[in-house]
Structure formats: structure tokens, C-alpha cells
Amino acid sequence: MEIRQPLPAVISLLHRVSGALLFFPGIPLLLCSLDMILDSPQGYAQFQSLLTNPLLKGVLILSLWFFLHHFWAGIRFLALDLHYGDTLEQARFSSKMVLAAGIILTLLIAVLMW
């Protein structure tokens, strides 16, 4: 049996999944990067050379999507708390916007980075 979830439910679940992934490995990756960038010119160069690795670049872009999705979905939930856009139609529309904004911004930054 297949259960089809409405889009707002998918957005909500993705918010939770992305949140867990931002906790781990997101936070340690962020701190490691900041540590390398600010430590010394050698550390900075090492960070840059790590980023030429396509696998690590992929990890970074995926993390970026988790972050951006979590960011936009979080702002949507804050708006819903204040009763902005909590009719069914608006909620469906804003969940589409959240999903699109996360993916489009991620792709845009990925293209700029590559």
C-alpha cells in the first residue's frame, strides 16, 4: 500500500530530516571549515584544495540544500505561527515556494562555485 502525503507534510518531514542532518554532520563540518579558514594561510590553502575534490564538493552542496530548505521551511513555520498564510490554499502554495526556493538557490550557488 502506498501512502501519498500532501506537499505541506513532505515539507514538514524534510524540515525534520534536514534539521537532524544539519546537527550531524552539518555542525562539525561547519566548525571544521571555519577552523581551517581562520587558522592560517596553510589551513586556508588546505581547505581550498579539499574543495577541488568533487565528492567533498558534492557533500558541501548537499549540506547547502539541507540548510537552505531548513531556512525557508523555518521561515514558513514562523509565518504560520503568526497566522500568515494558514488557509489550505496558501499553505499549499507556500510549501511549493519553499521547496523551489531551496532547490533553485542551491543550484545557483553550486553553479557559481563550480
Partner 1 sequence: MKRIVTGAHYGLRDWLAQRITAVVMAIFILLLAAILLISPPQDYASWKAIFSDRWMRIASFLFLVSLFWHAWIGMRNILMDYVHATGIRLTLQILVILLLLFYAIWSVEILWAVELAWR
Q: Using CB under 8 A as the criterion, which residues of the chain lie in contact with partner 1 when the complex forms?
A: 16, 19-20, 22-23, 27-28, 31, 34-35, 37-41, 44-45, 71, 74-75, 78, 81
Q: Cβ closer to partner 1: 17 or 62?
A: 17
In whole angstroms, how close is the CB of 42 to partner 1 at the nearest point? 9
In whole angstroms, how close is the CB of 46 to partner 1 at the nearest point? 11
Angle, in degrees to the nearest 10, between helices 54-81 and 7-21: 120
In whole angstroms, how close is the CB of 41 to partner 1 at the nearest point? 5
Q: Cβ closer to partner 1: 55 or 102?
A: 102
Q: Cβ closer to partner 1: 38 or 103?
A: 38
Q: Cβ closer to partner 1: 80 or 91?
A: 80
Report the b/e string of 7-25 with b at 16+ CB within 10 A. ebeebbebbeebeebbeee
Helices (H) then strands (E): counts for the chain: 5, 0
61 contact partners, CB below 8 Å, separation of at least 6: 106, 109, 110, 113
